[in-house]
A = this chain, B = another copy of it.
Amino acid sequence: MVIPARLKEFCTNVFLKMGCSPIDANLAADVLISADLRGIDSHGSARLPGYVRLWEAGRINSKPVIRITHETPGTAVVDGDRGLGLVVSPFAMEIAIKKAKKVGTGWVAVRNSNHFGIAAYHSMLALQHDMIGISMTNASPLVAPTFSKERLLGTNPISVAIPAGTEPPYVADFATTTAANGKLEILQRQGGKAPIGWVQTKEGLPSQDPNEVQNGGALLPLGGIRETGGHKGYILGSLVDIFSAILSGANYGPWVPPFVSFLPVRNDLVGDGIGHFFGVMRIDAFRDAKEFKENMDKWIGRFRNAQTIDGQERVLIPGDVEREEEIKRLKNGINLDPKVEESLKVLAEKFGLDF
């Protein structure tokens, strides 16, 4: 078990060694530890060696000058200057929040960025202001659109955070594929089989092999094949791609510079870096915030107390599992996967840090 504060300190020190400012290093570490605490193990400190790899390859600028390149009262485009998405994204959310204060909502498209960690970290920044937060990003092309053999989309996650009253907030954060890559990695470690609808072979045939994506196969959009609604997952993934990259001027579709090491960066890029999209809506731009929250509490209570299917304990509200995990891990510490721990020790040696 690792104490969260110690793990965060280690991550901060690695980002400092990469040349980040103390404020940026602390923020980036905060985003990663938030994933480790919320149980999204694939997006926490496990990714740290990946960020270092991209920095060493010259793809991450640890001293970015992040700036607005275009704006209206309610919108902005931000150039991330090849910075860590972990740092660029809270900057963009702050702009969205400021704009929402003035005109009701704020929408910010980001280009020239990198992997931004868990989407929910960014959407949740709106909650303390009594605002709804929305975040999304495009990602490494590993997903095949319906009927396609080729991988043209990323897992392109969407997060929406909505304030409630006495209930905890509603916090959704989901990949627009049937299963996120992290779920496949767990099956790879365990030697398990993937359910039908998660992946296809490089010829586009159904498969249950969790290693399919490394072998040229693809993740499937939410819904799986056409008959079970996979074309709707393809729509979701493509909307995230268009909002994140075509509104901002980032790379899209198969041109997105990959985070995963087994894919090359293309030399025919169509934009700058990867793209994100953020939205913030002030609750009281629509309705008295207290009234809204009372109704959110009623909504949450009704769904949480729905009659369950035999054998199921309860109906979950988005965010329940992660919040409960965070309470446990804050108390008991974070249980790192042995392989992740090993990779962090390698980083510690590389940078002459304690681990």
Contact = CB atoms under 8 A, between A and B. Distances in A.
Given A103-B72, A105-B75, A299-B252, A162 B203 contact: no
A314 to B, nearest CB: 7
Contacts of A286: 70, 75, 77, 109, 247-248
A204 interface: yes
B231 A222 contact: no
A4 interface: no
Interface string A215-232: 000000011100111011
A309 B73 CA distance: 46
Could you say which interface size class chain A belongs to?
35 or more
B162 A242 contact: yes
Given A178-B223, A253-B299, A148 B239 contact: no
A170 B299 CA distance: 33
A160 B239 contact: yes
Contact of A232 (B146, B174, B248, B270): B174
A302 B232 contact: no
A205 to B, nearest CB: 8
A7 interface: no
Contacts of A337: none
A246 B295 contact: yes
A214 interface: no
B235 A224 contact: no
A238 B318 contact: yes
Interface string A183-214: 00000000000011110100111000000000
B222 A312 contact: no
A271 B174 CA distance: 29
Contacts of A283: 247
A165 B107 CA distance: 23
B235 A172 contact: yes
A336 interface: no
A55 interface: no
A302 B152 contact: yes
Contacts of A253: 299, 302-303
A254 B306 CA distance: 10
A192 to B, nearest CB: 12
A222 to B, nearest CB: 5
A197 to B, nearest CB: 5
A307 interface: yes
Given A195-B227, A223-B222, A299-B253, A315 B72 contact: no
A93 interface: no
A147 interface: yes
Contact of A306 (B152, B223, B291): B152
A298 interface: yes
What are the 3 closest A-B residue pairs judged by CB atoms, nearest first? A204-B309, A72-B104, A75-B104
8 contacts: A103-B103, A145-B306, A146-B316, A147-B313, A203-B309, A204-B312, A238-B303, A252-B299
Given A74-B105, A174-B232, A223-B233, 10 more contacts: A75-B105, A105-B105, A146-B316, A147-B316, A152-B306, A179-B229, A203-B310, A242-B299, A246-B299, A252-B299
